[in-house]
Amino acid sequence: MSRSPLPATASRGAAAFLCLFLAAAGLYPQRIVSLAPGLTEIVFAIGRGGNLVGVTKFCDFPEAARNIKKIGGFLDVSIEALVALAPDIVIAYPEHAGKMRSLPPRVRLVTVRHDRLADLLRSIGEIGRALNSERESERLRVAIRSKLRQVAQRVQGRRKVRTLCIAGRNADELKNMFIIGRNDFLNDLLEIAGGMNAYRGAVAYPNISLESVIALDPEFILEISSHYEGISDERIFALWRPLGMVTAVVEKKVRIIKDPAWLRPGPRVGLVAEEMAGLLHGPVRLP
C-alpha cells in the first residue's frame, strides 16, 4: 500500500526543523556576516570563509574577502543591507551593539572584544565554538602563541626601546595625533617585541600635541596608518626633521607603517610582532 504524501505545511515544518538541527550540529552551511576586518580574517583562518555572505568595506584580506558583499564601514553598517543577506550568525564588537538591536530574533549575534591580546586569543575560541570549528580555532591559537613566544625569545635580554606608536593624525602636519595607550593589543605586541610604550598614562588612545611628543622624548617612533597610502615616506620624514630635540628623530628612528594589518587584531598579530622586533632591534631571524 502506498503512503499518502505529507501535507505541504507539515513538509515545510519538517524541513525547517531539519535545517535547524543540522545547523546546530555543524552540518548545515551557516550564513555569516562579519563586522570588522580582524573578525573576517579569523573566520577565514578557521576555515569558514566560504560561509561569509557579508563583510565591511575595509575587509580586504585574504584576497577572497574582497569579493564578498559589502554592507558599510566599521560603525556605519547598513542594517537593511545586513538583514537582506539573511545571515544565521553576525560576528561583531561591543561598539556595534546599538545597531544590532534591530536584528531579527532568529539571527545569532556573537559579540567579542579585541582590546588586548588576551581578548583576541579568547575570541578565536569563542568564534570557533559559534561556527563549529573548535579544532581549527584551537590550532590557530596555538600557532599565534608559538610565533609570539619565538619573537619574545629572540629579543630576550635586550634593552626595552621606548616607543611612541602614532595611529592617526592630520595628514599634512604633526597635529591632532592619536597614540596607542597601554591598554591595547598593539601595546602588548610592542612589549613582546622588545619595546615599551613611551606613554605611561592611563588614557586608552590619547590625543597629544607636538609639545607632548617632545616631552615624552621617545627613542623610536612608529607612524602607523593606512591613510598614508599614496603619501611618500620622504614627505612624512620631512615633517619630523625639525624636531632635533627628540631622540628618535636625531637617531633617525622614525618608521612609517602603511600595512593595515598592524591595526587589526587578528591571525597576523604574530607576524606584526616579528616585524616590530626587527624594526626595534635589527633583523630578528625566526625559524
Residue 18 pLDDT > 60: no
Q: What ranges make up the beta strands (E) of 112-213?
A: 161-168, 177-179, 195-197, 207-208
26-49 pLDDT, tens digit per residue, is 455 589 999 999 999 999 999 999
Which domains are delineated in the chain? 28-147 (3.40.50.1980), 158-281 (3.40.50.1980)
Q: Name the residue among 150, 121, 120, 151 with its Cα closest to residue 138.
A: 121
Question: CB 281: neighbour CB atoms within 10 A?
Answer: 16
Q: Higher model confidence: residue 219 or residue 75?
A: 219
84-136 pLDDT, tens digit per residue, is 999 999 999 999 999 999 999 999 999 999 999 999 999 999 999 999 999 99
This prediction's pTM: 0.87
257-277 pLDDT, tens digit per residue, is 999 999 999 999 999 999 999
Q: What ranges make up the beta strands (E) of 61-197?
A: 89-92, 108-111, 161-168, 177-179, 195-197
Q: Name the residue among 267, 281, 276, 287 with its Cα closest to residue 189.
A: 276
Please report which confidence band the pLDDT of residue 12 belongs to, taking 50, 70 and 90 as the band edges: low
